[in-house]
Amino acid sequence: MMALLMGGLVGVVALTSILTATALGIWFERKLSARMQTRLGPTIVGPFGLLQPIADFLKLLQKETLIPDGADRLLFVVAGPFCIFLALATAAFVPISPDTGLGLDSGLIFVVAFGAITVIPIWMAGWASRNKWALLGGMRAVAQAVSYAVPLVLAALVPVLLAGTLSLDGIVAAQQGFHWFALWPTFPGLPAFVLYLGCLLAEANRIPFDIPEAESELVAGITTEYTGMRFGFFYLAEYVHTLVGSAVAATLFLGGWDGPIAPGLHWLVAKTLVLYTVIYWIRWSFLRLRADQLMSLCWRYLVPAGLGLVFAAAALAQVMP
Amino acid sequence: MTLRALLVTLRNVFRRPVTWEFPRSVRPRPERYRTGFALLRDEHGEELCIGCLACEKICPSAILHVKAAPKRESAVTGKKRGWAEDLTIDTVACLGCELCVQVCPTDALVMTRAPERPADHREELFLTMAKLYENGLAREHGWATGTKLMGMQEDEDKKKKRKDKEVAA
Amino acid sequence: MTTPARNHLATYEPEGDLMTLNYGPQHPSTHGVLRIKLVLDGERIVEADPHVGYLHRGVEKLAERLSYVQLTPVFDKNDYVAPMTNEQALVMAFEKLLAIEVPARARHLRALLGELGRIASHLLWLGTFTLDLGGALGGGSTQFIYCFRERELILDLFEALTGVRFHYNAHTIGGNRHDVPAGWAAAVEAALDQIAARVPEYRGMSVENGIFVARTRGVGVLPAELALGLGITGPNLRASGVDHDLRRDAPYHVFDAVPVKVITRKEGDCLARTHVRLEELEESLRLCRLLVGTLPEGPICGARPVKQPAQFKIPAGQAYAAIESPRGELGTWVVAAGGPSPHRLKIRAPSLHALSALPHILPGHTFSDAVAILGSLDPIMGEVDR
């Protein structure tokens, strides 16, 4: 009983901290994108506009939520919360410090699985909206997510082979002492890191792979018929997915909580922030790829590259102690 | 060189933002800036508008409505002159073409550099005669008057030549 | 009822179920209120049927009621992105009928304002085109903000000259209404310098960017015969290989004395149109520098300034005057019948001809390409619908 209560308390603390981090991440992205466009970004709400995400949240809460006539009500309503649940659940598996961690033998499988299942609520939203724009977005999302899951897993296999374990704690432990996989061994490590980041962009529907929600083409893609807080779920889920995905990438390739001096949570936060910035820097600089170009990039270039990297990592793991 | 885009964006991070935080800070406006309307009085405080209806006739949107008053004597010169009983401008449909300012023979109607055209209530966009005269005193006038605009387009020699030709014809 | 598409590309045989999709009129990237009825097979377009008229404001009918001198501020709003060229095409037709000679300073100033307007229009086009390709939340909007930041410089110049940023009513029958204020020439040079310094950045984010090239190369090829047959002019025609520019072939203003370099490309795809417009922007920068440095002295208006609505009564006759607007040949055909208003006034809008190419070039492309093709043709619905 006590354990259950403790677990619940930890869960609440963890959720609150992740959502706060996401709100700060939204603020940071808006300020960053504004500076990249030589403008100011939010400045009015709160000091330096820090309360802007709260204002957006309150605005979304008080909007009229409607369900289109003829839409599949169950799927329509369930898609949003399901999406954010998956995004948040992945965060549980990321080892945040040397002492805590779930201690699962196969944490990576859960992370990849949760990331892959995300396509289901996205497709549900596209199908249930009874809207051609949403349908096109949903179909593109399925094609993209299913395809890019393959090089994602292949890239994630490189640290697994180098560390010899599927457990995320084990992978971080193998990188202790500044032996981050992205830096050493540089040959499969760095290209695998870049490949993983690219596939993370695709899984999180970020430019240049954001065709499911390409609002200059598909009005708002899968979220066309969503209003108010139902839209808020998808919006929030995107940012949480990006944040948690950056944390997972930092765990796999950049050593997680490891650092040259005083390893701990702050190193993980710093690395996540750096990756988050890079992802949004890419987002605000590039245009989006067309659907067929995206698919051909995946299957003709990324999958063979991933396979090659996995073979190289396996060979290296045999040779190295 | 696809990654050039990343460098361009990075370079722009370090440029000064070009945002003007209106209404806390207002960008400097040029001399000829025009947005609202005002009616003027002469130096003795008498209305310049003579109710000739030239502005009402020229307006392409037909938003000016002038009601001419019967001629009576001016308190300053003692001579009979025209007056306007009422002059209203419904700026909702104003194109900002400045033709009404250009045709005014007495430079009575001018545009102002304030207030801003957008308003909170529709009534604020309908300028009554009282509001127009109040703008004339309270607001900063635009550069253009009828005389100045006509003078810019037709200098004095040409005007004299044209007037002579009309007299001769 | 959709008309069958006469596809000049290899005929695409559709398989599977077809889906009808309304691209517009409520859509973030149809460049105004345009509706294109698409028949899709999955993501491939089988048929495209544009419907226009959502922005029809009856401007040509209004012209029969307003007098000649009242028309300039109204026709500003046709091609609302380049208002200067609108007004110029209009008053040129009236001046032809009245046989008024426009003084040299006014002609020079008109050419300068037209070229500055061309720079502003092409900047807006580049921003909105990359916005369509990249999204309002993403790289497209970055380029959009950059282009608009530089466009503000030009709008500031126009504001210093006329007093308003947009829809200037700067022209009158016989010349211009506003003369150049003190220090304006220096401000023009400064603005041109700053824009010229930023053009390499635009190139870096567009034509030198692999993703942009992948999205636009080979997409939306407009064959030259089709373009000529549909009456398409301007950068769309020049990108398909036809060497035609009114500034050189039927000169007006000062273009008989000032040579203009006409930029053409052979491929006719979206990338070619981008190149043509970018290079036209650079050419206009050069022209503006030349024109602002050689502005002659003299009056700015060759006829009586506007004083009454019925000032010009044009006797019966017809005239057509055309100008090279940023979109192509913008022409005014006026039929006068002796009164102070025209009997009939027709605007030849280049964007309407550009849109008529859509049923021919869209089929066979994917839906994302439709967005790119529509953006690259640079239609402005204000002049399409009038």
Q: What are the residue boundaries of the structural domains of chain B, listed by start?
A: 33-162
What pLDDT, on a 0 to 100 scale, did the predictor assign at position C354? 92
Contact B145, B101 (CB under 8 A): yes
Which of A38, A43, A286 minimises the CB distance to B12?
Answer: A38
- A–B: how many Cβ contacts below 8 A? 33
* Whether A214 contacts A61, CB under 8 Å: no
pLDDT in tens, chain C (386 residues): 344 444 434 344 555 678 888 887 878 777 788 888 888 887 788 889 899 989 999 999 998 999 999 998 998 888 889 889 989 999 999 999 988 889 999 999 999 999 999 999 999 999 999 888 877 777 778 888 999 999 999 999 999 998 888 888 889 898 898 889 888 999 999 999 999 999 988 888 888 888 888 888 888 899 999 999 999 999 999 999 999 999 998 898 889 888 889 999 998 899 999 999 999 999 999 999 999 888 888 888 888 888 888 888 888 999 999 999 999 999 999 999 888 899 999 999 999 999 999 999 998 888 888 888 999 998 999 889 88
Residue C189 lies in a domain: yes
With residue A16 as reference, give the H or E element that holds it: helix A2-36
Other beta carbons less than 10 A from residue C294's beta carbon: 12
Q: B143 vs chain C: nearest CA distance in angstroms?
A: 9
| Residue C106, in any domain of the structure | yes
Would you state the pLDDT for residue B11? 87
* Domain housing C319: 56-385
What pLDDT is attached to residue B69?
87
Nearest-Cα distance to chain C for A219, in Å, is: 6
Within a domain: C34: no
Over chain A, what is the mean pLDDT? 85
The whole-angstrom separation of Cα B125 and Cα C49 is 42
Q: Which residues of A touch B13 (CB under 8 A)?
A: 32, 35-36
The answer to whether residues A137 and A214 touch, using CB atoms and an 8 Å cutoff, is yes
The distance of Cα A119 from the centroid of its chain, to the nearest Å, equals 12
Q: Would C294 be classed as within a structural domain?
A: yes
Q: Rounded distance, CA A101 to CA C177, Å?
A: 76
Return the CATH architecture of domain B33-162.
2-Layer Sandwich (3.30)
Q: B32 and C181 in contact (C-beta within 8 Å)?
A: yes
What CA–CA distance (Å, rounded) separates C41 from C367?
10
User: How far does C286 lie from chain B, in Å, by closest CA?
Assistant: 24
Interface partners of chain C (CB pairs < 8 Å, 3 or more) are A, B
**From the candidates C128, C142, C198, which should be mutated to test the interface with A, based on the most A CB atoms within 10 A?**
C142
pLDDT at C5: 47
Are the Cβ atoms of A216 and C21 closer than 8 angstroms? no
pLDDT of residue B117: 66
Q: What is the least distance, in Å, from the CA of B22 to any CA of chain A?
A: 12
Assigned domain for C198 exists:
yes
Instruction: Identify the segments of chain A with pLDDT beneath 70.
Output: 99-103, 214-219, 321
Q: Does residue C352 lie in a domain region?
A: yes
What pLDDT is attached to residue A103?
66
Q: How far apart are CA A69 and CA A65, in angstroms?
A: 13
Q: Are C377 and C239 in contact (CB under 8 A)?
A: no
Residue pointed to by tokens 């203003």: C253
Place of tokens 């169950």: A74
Q: In what order do the strands lie in the sheet with C19-23?
A: C19-23, C35-41, C44-51
Whole-number CA gyration radius for chain B: 22
CA gap C47, C38 in Å, rounded: 6
Phi, psi at C315, each rounded to 5°: -65, 165
Chains touching A, CB cut-off 8 Å, 3+ pairs: B, C
The DSSP-derived string for A64-109 is: PP---TT--HHHHHHHHHHHHHHHHHHGGGS--SSS-----TTHHH
Query: Is B6 an interface residue toward A (CB < 8 Å)?
Result: yes
Question: Which residue of A lies nearest to B6 if distances are taken between CA atoms?
Answer: A285
Quickly list DSSP for C109-136: HHHHHHHHHHHHHHHHHHHHHHHHHH-S
Count contacts between B and C (CB, < 8 Å): 116
Q: Which amino acid is at B50?
A: I
Nearest CA in chain C to B94: C73
- And the tokens for A289? 């790829």
pLDDT of residue C272: 92
ipTM here = 0.86
The CATH code of the domain that includes C197 is 1.10.645.10
3-state DSSP assignment of residue B81 = strand
For residues C57 and C75, give the distance between their C-alpha atoms in angstroms, rounded to a whole number.
Answer: 11
Q: Report the relative pairing of strands C328-336 and C317-325 from DSSP bridges.
A: antiparallel
Interface partners of chain B (CB pairs < 8 Å, 3 or more) are A, C
Please provide the distance, in angstroms rounded to a whole number, between the alpha carbons at the two ends of chain A. 45
Q: What is the CA radius of gyration of chain A?
A: 20
